[in-house]
Amino acid sequence: MTLRPGSFLITRLSFVVLAVVTGMTTARAVGEEMFLDNLGRFEHAPGTAGIVVAAPHGTADTGTIVLARALAKRLGAGIVLATGFMIPDQQFVTRINVNRPTEQVRMAGRLRVLRSPRAELANARYSTLIKETAGGPLRFFLEIHSNSWPEAAGLVLVGTSRVTTTEAFASRPLT
């Protein structure tokens, strides 16, 4: 039997191949989502296009979820929150850093930071949600963290990307 382009059999085989590939891709995406759901949860909501507030360590960084919600509401910003992503063990707790493709484990007083496939998957999802929530080019992104350093008590620590010190000091305060 000779198969000719445009023939019924070629067309039918093409649809079968397309259905199988689509099914495999969808199953993989659903499997990855279910895997991430077992590790932690993401929550997101749109706001003013291009403005996003995020709390990537909502479980470990005390108070960041409440602060992120309040700032997003005040700014009219979109919001991306992550909770969970902490895996307890009998000897230590592993935290998956959704805002970078690493996880960290504190063992015997030392903090070990390792790259892992599950952290890469969580980071990819977090990054995608930030882009989706922005609804266009990201113009302003504020990521909220907390820490337990005694020397930081009562301070707001600010990290910037592509903002000079002069630009940061020239910014007007929210009123």
Q: What is the pLDDT along the chain (175 residues), one digit of tens a residue?
A: 554 555 554 445 444 444 444 444 444 444 445 556 788 999 999 999 999 999 999 888 888 899 999 999 999 999 999 999 998 887 888 999 999 999 998 877 788 999 999 999 999 999 999 999 999 999 989 999 887 778 877 777 766 666 777 877 776 665 5
Domain assignment present for 112: yes
Quote the pTM value. 0.72
For residue 56, what are the domain limits?
A: 41-146
Q: Can you tell me the distance from the alpha carbon of 57 to that of 85, in angstroms, rounded to the nearest whole number?
A: 8
Q: Is residue 100 part of a domain?
A: yes
Cα–Cα distances (Å) from 46 to 43, 53, 79, 82, in that order, read: 11, 10, 7, 15
Establish if 96 belongs to a structural domain.
Answer: yes
CB of 144 within 8 A of CB of 71?
yes
Q: How many structural domains compose the chain?
A: 1
Domain membership flag for residue 31: no
Residue 115 lies in a domain: yes
